[in-house]
Amino acid sequence: MLQSGSQWTFSPVIETAWGDSMLHLRAILPGVPQQDLKVSVQNNQLILEGERRTPETFKNHGQAQLAYGKFYAAVTLPSGLSVDKLTCRLQDGILDIQIPVSEQMKPRQIQIQSGESRKSISA
């Protein structure tokens, strides 16, 4: 998508999935090195900011089908996550983010007690 002037921008694709004890997010960021990527959490939002730079060989008279430039994406996080334990890993253009569910939000099994058997009284 072409932005004002000749600066290209793009929005990364972000996928989410729930595991038993984690929220998994995956952002597709081909050509974005770690030094050009910033991940933060602010006001219950996961924020991805960065830049995919145009390769040197494409800067003059090149034809590209990928969008280049700065990007920004925000994902609203549900409550009950331990965002202080968030982990990120960037490998092969895929940013994997895992956020554990806080202990108080995890489902827990409630034991059901059996009732006393009642004897019927005949009248």
pLDDT value at position 1?
39
Encoded amino acid at 6, one letter: S
Contact status, residue 99 vs residue 45, Cβ threshold 8 Å: no
Nearest to 82 by CA among 53, 103, 59, 109: 103
CB atoms within 10 A of CB 68: 18
**Domains in the chain: boundaries:** 13-103
Question: What pLDDT digit, counting tens, does each position of 69-93 carry?
Answer: 899 999 999 999 999 999 999 999 9
CATH number of 13-103: 2.60.40.790
- Predicted structure pTM score: 0.74
**Which tokens sit at 92?**
């092969």
In angstroms, the CA 12 to CA 73 distance is: 7
The partner residues of 99 in beta bridges, in order of sequence, read 23
The average confidence (pLDDT) of the chain is 85
